[in-house]
Structure 1
Amino acid sequence: MLKIFNDKVYGLDESLIASGYPMVGSQIESWEDEITLNEKDYKRASKLGNVPTGTGHDNFLKGIIVQFDITYPNYWTPQFQRYHFADIVSSTSKMHRLIKMDLKASCNEYVDDAVIEILQKWIDIFNSFIPGQETIEIENKIYSKYEIYMKVISNCPMGLEQTMRVTTSYLQLKTIYQQRRHHKLKEDWGNFCDWCLTLPHFEEFCLNNIK
């Protein structure tokens, strides 16, 4: 199941002030050490942030940066990676670690035991190679070490779970929430959208017009 943790939000206060720049003259004052926001700032942010996606008036949401760690099943990433501003800082690696993983612990509950057994068979064969060995015979067929490794990677189930750290913004999360709130992958996108609601002022600034 998708899980989000270690989340941080940056630039919220500064972006609320910047949302008022279009109505200010050419002179912008420097911020003090402590930024003081008032009711007018929050009302303006809520009004601008809740315009329809794509109209451009919610651009200040770009400045509210969110970073988080997320543990996810592999079938979820193609959908997440379609979003323009959702940069992966770093992630766990199948290429480096799959042959060392505890598969039962690393796969979600929907992966069949038979699938894990097949993958474990190819991992065990790969790990049986000794230094300098480049081929192995299995049932009267010769396989190269590369071919065995490709068997490992190609038979990896989509329910394998990995973790990555992501940088994104309220503007992108607003789009994600609108598109994925009622998605067919209700456990994963449902958890993601529920997490969005825990971010400071996210519902107020992004969702008043769609909830």
Structure 2
Amino acid sequence: MIKFNNTAVMNFENAMRGARNPLNSWARSDSSYDENGNFVFGLNDLDLAKRLCQAGNDHRKFIRQIFISVDITAPIYWWKEYDTYKVGTVANSTSTMHKIHSKPFELADFSTDHMTDEALDTMKVMVESLEEIRLKYMETKDKALWYSLIQLLPESYHQMRTCTMSYENAIAMYNARHNHKLEEWHTFCDWVCELPYFMELFPFIKDGKQAE
């Protein structure tokens, strides 16, 4: 299970101004904003942006200045893979260490969507055990019980992080993960493809080609 909330994409205008710096072609810029304040590519700017993206990494530097902010809720096992992408990304997470005991454990706190029936039964027992330990900790404040929660916590436990990245990070993740065995990565790649103008800038990923 993975969820995306509060997605915001920023800085198209400044990124495109920079894209025109090498040839001093600012006068050809024709983008604008709609009545809701959303950036709208003009034909000239979109044509330039698409040509730069298709020319490869060295030419599409402007997409490193198109920024994404999003709240992602995902299991710890997915976050361990996401943490590979440290360059150019930032994330502030909800605190497991400080808040693990602050609410009752529920099955909905964990990703169980691909479990067998037997595994799900085991998970239900685990959640009940965690809740029993949590309640004892709340009564006694025994640090050994707190450690027990931390060390028993399954990797399927959900954590929410507010993440920032660029379109360059997003296309790199897409290229690396769109065929991954984890369904969460497929959902992530679907979300990436729905970002403003992403498919216009990288139309060739529809054919399974990588955006080098």
Identity between Structure 1 and Structure 2 (%): 24
Letter in 2 for 1:160: Y
Q: 1:39 to 1:154 in 2, by over 3 A?
A: same
TM-score by length of 2: 0.79
TM-score by length of 1: 0.80
Report which stretch shifted further, 66-75 or 114-123: 114-123
In the other structure, the counterpart of 2:36 is: none
Cα displacement (A) at 1:17: 2.8
In the other structure, the counterpart of 1:95 is: 97
Cα displacement (A) at 1:207: 4.5
In the other structure, the counterpart of 1:199 is: 195
Letter in 1 for 2:99: R
CA distance in 2, matches of 1:82, 1:151: 28
Q: Mapping of 1:145-164 within 5 angstroms? A: 145-164=142-161
Report which stretch shifted further, 167-176 or 16-25: 16-25
Report which stretch shifted further, 40-49 or 114-123: 114-123
Given the alignment, which residue of 178, 182, 185 partners 2:182? 185
Q: Mapping of 1:21-36 within 5 angstroms? A: 21-24=21-24
* Unaligned segments of structure 2, at least 5 residues: 34-39
The answer to whether the Cα contact below 8 Å between 2:3 and 2:74 also exists between their aligned partners in 1 is yes
The answer to whether the Cα contact below 8 Å between 2:111 and 2:158 also exists between their aligned partners in 1 is yes
Given the alignment, which residue of 117, 125, 139 partners 1:128? 139
Aligned residues: 189
Report which stretch shifted further, 107-116 or 194-203: 107-116
CA distance in 1, matches of 2:105, 2:88: 31
Q: Secondary structure at the match of 1:99?
A: coil
Cα displacement (A) at 1:57: 1.5
Cα displacement (A) at 1:117: 2.4
Report which stretch shifted further, 93-102 or 78-87: 93-102
CA distance in 2, matches of 1:158, 1:101: 18
Cα displacement (A) at 1:108: 2.1
Please report the RMSD computed on the Cα atoms of aligned residues, expressed in angstroms: 2.4
The answer to whether the Cα contact below 8 Å between 1:50 and 1:207 also exists between their aligned partners in 2 is no
Task: Spell out structure 1 runs of 4+ moving beyond 6 A.
Answer: none
- Structure possessing the higher relative contact order (Cα contacts under 8 Å, 6 or more residues apart): 1
CA distance in 2, matches of 1:150, 1:50: 51
* Unaligned segments of structure 1, at least 5 residues: 131-144
Largest Rg, 1 or 2: 1
In the other structure, the counterpart of 1:62 is: 64
CA distance in 1, matches of 2:172, 2:144: 42
Q: Which has the higher helix share?
A: 2
Q: 1:84-129 CA distances to partner (integer Å, 9 max, x unpaired)?
A: 12201x3222112211223223122246112212322322221220
